[in-house]
Each structure stands twice: as structure tokens, then as C-alpha cells.
């Protein structure tokens, strides 16, 4: 058997194995994101809180954040949430704007203050907006928003904060984030994601959102890459054992050089 030809064949198979594992990882990330990996509770249309660059009568950006807890680490690939719009000065009904400009931020919990602490992740959202057919007691239309995210991990398990913030284009319009329940811890900030102190309001509640990701049956992309590497190394070990014998220990690529030299001598 020609050793040089065997080495070339082994190299081709190994490269294709690695490429296949990477392709599978990429396709996993590109798959439709619809599986809910975290749900903050059912929609409560009777209450909402502003989180918008309009900032109400103050004229300054006002952000709201919601505290939530994870029982295990998760990979986040998308987000779904609910909200409505109002006249930021008169508080009356207004139609939805032509477009939205949402951002989302995730924070670790500051154990000293029980408020948002270190910024973990911040991303721009490219949302699709759908009218739910629901209206709140004030007659405001309730909308559902959904957006893909660049995948990231929330780990370890524990307490986190999420803030969703809209930059509505109309100066008299303010976006309100719909509640999901009356029990929970909220925080407000007058500023942006990177500045402005957080403080706890006198009211409590949960805000409506779902974090989306891949089902548990689909391995994480990094796991798929490791599986490809393991296949590559296993194939290399079997090849060397076949050429050098199973009883001879080998540990590095210089064994390939040894095999090639033996092949040349035997040719």
C-alpha cells in the first residue's frame, strides 16, 4: 500500500469531517428560532411601564429593567415581548409608528443593591411587530414583537436583569412595556444602557418577555465543533495504529513523519 497516498486520503477525510461539523454548527445557528427557553409569565394587559427615549414629561430617556432568575445556563438566540404606545404628554391613545428602534440589554445582579449591575450583553433589535387584537383598559392596542439575536450564553444560573428600550421616531410618542404579573422586582434609570443610576420604584411587577433558543435536543454549536475535532483525532489515531501497530505508543505529529519516511524506504 502506498503510504503517501494513504496520508493524503486521511487528510482529505479529516478536512471534510471538520468542515461538516462546522457546517452543522452554522446551520444550527441559522435554524428558525421559536423554542422558548425562558418565559417570564403570561401577558397582563392591564398594566404597562414606559421605556423610551421620549422619557415622558421629563424629556429624558427613561429605561425600565426587570429582574429574573435562571435555574440553569441557557443560550439565547431570539426574544419575544409585548407592548403598546401612548401620547407621552397627554397619556392618550396614539397609533403605532411606522417603525421601531429597539435595543435590549442584559445585566448581572448587583448583590449589594439588588439592582442591575455589570452589563452582560447589549444588542440592537430588528423586530417584526404584530397587532395581537388585544387592547388594554385605556383602549391602547397591544403589539407582539419578535427579533433574532446574535447567540450568546447567560451563565451561570442565577439572577439577571433585562431592559428593553425603544427610540420611537415621533417626539410625542412613548413606548410602554406590558406587564406579565404584579409580583416581581423592577428598576428604573434615567439615562442609557451605559450610564445613569438604577433605582427601585415603589411598585413591583414582572414584564412580558420570552427568551428563544434551540431545543435541548439540538447540541450547542461549540459542542458540534468539539465532536468534529474528536472525530478528527480518533481517525488519526486509528490510522497511525494501523501503520505503526497498536502496541507502539504515539503522541504527536512527528509519527506521521516517521510513517512517511518508512514508506519512502519501503517503496
What are the boundaries of each domain within the chain?
32-213, 220-266
Which segment of 22-31, 47-56, 103-112 scores lowest on mean pLDDT? 22-31
To the nearest 10°, the Cα dihedral for 239, 240, 244, 245? -70
pLDDT value of residue 171: 74
Which segment of 65-69, 84-88, 123-127, 255-259 scores lowest on mean pLDDT? 255-259
pLDDT value of residue 169: 77
Sign of CA dihedral 206, 212, 213, 214: positive
120 Cβ contact partners less than 8 Å away, ≥ 6 residues apart: 106, 107, 108, 154, 160
Residue 256's pLDDT band (boundaries 50, 70, 90)? very low
Query: Cell digits for 230?
Result: 474528536
pTM over 0.85: no
Q: What is the pLDDT of residues 217-237, one digit of tens each?
A: 545 555 555 555 555 555 555
Residue with cell 507502539: 248
Amino acid at each position: 500500500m502506498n503510504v503517501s497516498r494513504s496520508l493524503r486520503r486521511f487528510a482529505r477525510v479529516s478536512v471534510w469531517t471538520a468542515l461538516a461539523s462546522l457546517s452543522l454548527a452554522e446551520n444550527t445557528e441559522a435554524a428558525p428560532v421559536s423554542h422558548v427557553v425562558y418565559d417570564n409569565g403570561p401577558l397582563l394587559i392591564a398594566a404597562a411601564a414606559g421605556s423610551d427615549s421620549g422619557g415622558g414629561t421629563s424629556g429624558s430617556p427613561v429605561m425600565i429593567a426587570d429582574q429574573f432568575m435562571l435555574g440553569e445556563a441557557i443560550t439565547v438566540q431570539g426574544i419575544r415581548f409585548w407592548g403598546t404606545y401612548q401620547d407621552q404628554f397627554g397619556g392618550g391613545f396614539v397609533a403605532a409608528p411606522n417603525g421601531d428602534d429597539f435595543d435590549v440589554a442584559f445585566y448581572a445582579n448587583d448583590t449589594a443593591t439588588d439592582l442591575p449591575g455589570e452589563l452582560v450583553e447589549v444588542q440592537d433589535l430588528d423586530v417584526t411587530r404584530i397587532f395581537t387584537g388585544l387592547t388594554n383598559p385605556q383602549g391602547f392596542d397591544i403589539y407582539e414583537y419578535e427579533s433574532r439575536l446574535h447567540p450568546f450564553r447567560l451563565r451561570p444560573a442565577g439572577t439577571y436583569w433585562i431592559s428593553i428600550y425603544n427610540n420611537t421616531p415621533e417626539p410625542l410618542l412613548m413606548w410602554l412595556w406590558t406587564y406579565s404579573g404584579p409580583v416581581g422586582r423592577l428598576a428604573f434609570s434615567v439615562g442609557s444602557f451605559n450610564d445613569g443610576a438604577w433605582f427601585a420604584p415603589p411598585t413591583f411587577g414582572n414584564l412580558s418577555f420570552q427568551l428563544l433558543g434551540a431545543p435541548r435536543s439540538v447540541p450547542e454549536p461549540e459542542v458540534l465543533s468539539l465532536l468534529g475535532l474528536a472525530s478528527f483525532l480518533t481517525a488519526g489515531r486509528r490510522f497511525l495504529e494501523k501503520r505503526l501497530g497498536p502496541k507502539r505508543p504515539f503522541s504527536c505529529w512527528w509519527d506521521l513523519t516517521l510513517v512517511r519516511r518508512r514508506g519512502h524506504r519501503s517503496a
